[in-house]
Amino acid sequence: MSNITQCHYKFGYNDGEIDPDDINFFGEGVNISGGFIGNPIQLRIQVFNTATITAGNNWQLYYDTDNTPATATQVSTASSVVKIINDTDIADGTATDDSIAVFDETPTYTWQNGKYIDQSNETAVLALGENFYTDFQFNIQFDSNAEEGQTYYFFLRMNDSTIDTYSSVPELVIESTKIRYVNTDSTAGGDGTTNAITGDNRAYASLNEWEAAEQINLTLYYQSHIVYCSGSTPDTTSVEILGWTTNTIYTITIKGADQSDFSGRITDFRIYNRGFTSAEAIALYETSAQLDDRGNLWC
């Protein structure tokens, strides 16, 4: 009998490491979005057991689009949408011998080496003892059947059966272009995901706030970024577009709102209410960042 809980996770990427513990991980419990169709991503999941397992078990990774473990689909080497793929640097079956997170469950638990999987549909047999915890790591890739804008949830199973508790569930959104909004009539503290001026999902109140909140290495997420700017209140806070990582494929574009565009797209930065006094109010230091003035780029 077992009592298994899925408790911690990390997404990550490999840039040549041969030990699964040494790849570059994003933060513990951090969900990610990006243009991952056709691009690999690694996922590490931790579980612990509070009851006895009397025999070895195989462990599998499953995914779902509505966060329902019981109806999830197995991620395999032949599955559609998301599949397990080979990482030529790390050998399939390599032990994960270091926990991805500070394990703070009680009572005291003991670490047990887990497994790395990139060429198999499931792990080799592993018996997770009573009051033990371990990590499983998978190299996965979405194919052309994955849907843009869709959120995918991931679950471990043991012997193809759901485990007892999923207290922490990894989420990944297919988002090849991230869209964010600045509206000077908003107030600071929104997440910039809409052009609303109230609510938690309200627009950023300035370009400076947007830049500070969204700055990432776009190439790691296979993602471009567009920020749409509007509002009647002058934006008086200067901003430096600096500290991102971009290239000619994964770029930053700053656009202004044109209410005459019936499609709702924001097309003309000239109408953005800019109240800057500095000559370098918007300083572009990234080579693939651009201001879009109705199709005319100026930097």
For residue 294, give the DSSP letter: T
**Residue 271: predicted pLDDT:** 41
Distance CA 14, CA 12 (A): 7
Q: State which of 153, 174, 195 marks the end of a domain.
A: 174
CB 180: neighbour CB atoms within 10 A?
A: 20
> Could you tell me if 50 and 83 lie in one domain?
yes
> Could you tell me if 163 and 277 lie in one domain?
no
> Could you tell me if 232 and 153 lie in one domain?
no
> Could you tell me if 153 and 256 lie in one domain?
no
CB 159: neighbour CB atoms within 10 A?
A: 13
Number of domains in the chain: 2
> Could you tell me if 194 and 134 lie in one domain?
no
> Could you tell me if 227 and 146 lie in one domain?
no
Domain encompassing residue 58: 4-174
Residue 134's nearest CA partner among 143, 146, 126 is 126
> Could you tell me if 116 and 263 lie in one domain?
no
CB 70: neighbour CB atoms within 10 A?
A: 9
State pTM to two decimals: 0.85
Q: Are 97 and 120 in contact (CB under 8 A)?
A: no
Angle (nearest 5°) at CA 122 between 12 and 49: 80
> Could you tell me if 197 and 275 lie in one domain?
yes
Residue 46's nearest CA partner among 25, 67, 74, 32 is 25
Per-residue pLDDT of the chain (299 residues; tens, 9 = 90+): 679 999 999 999 999 999 999 999 999 999 999 999 999 999 999 999 998 876 789 999 999 999 999 999 999 999 889 999 999 999 999 999 988 887 777 778 999 999 999 999 999 999 998 999 999 999 999 999 999 999 999 999 999 999 999 999 999 999 999 999 999 999 999 999 999 999 999 999 999 999 999 999 999 999 999 999 888 888 888 888 889 999 999 999 888 765 433 333 334 444 454 454 544 456 665 666 766 654 333 33
> Could you tell me if 9 and 157 lie in one domain?
yes
| Phi, psi values for residue 95, rounded to 5° | -75, 140
Q: State which of 140, 174, 208 marks the end of a domain.
A: 174
> Could you tell me if 37 and 165 lie in one domain?
yes
Distance CA 172, CA 149 (A): 10
> Could you tell me if 266 and 159 lie in one domain?
no
Q: Which amino acid is at 16?
A: G
Give the length of the chain: 299
What is the torsional sign of CA 214, 217, 223, 229? positive
Distance CA 17, CA 26 (A): 16
Alpha carbons within 13 angstroms on the beta-carbon side of residue 131 total 5
Helix/strand/coil for 126: strand
**Residue 238: predicted pLDDT:** 84
Q: State which of 156, 174, 192 marks the end of a domain.
A: 174
Which residues have C-beta within 8 Å of that of residue 161, sequence separation ≥ 6? none
In the chain, alpha helices (H):
207-214, 218-221
Which residues have C-beta within 8 Å of that of residue 130, sequence separation ≥ 6? 49, 50, 51, 52, 53
Distance CA 1, CA 4 (A): 10
> Could you tell me if 83 and 202 lie in one domain?
no
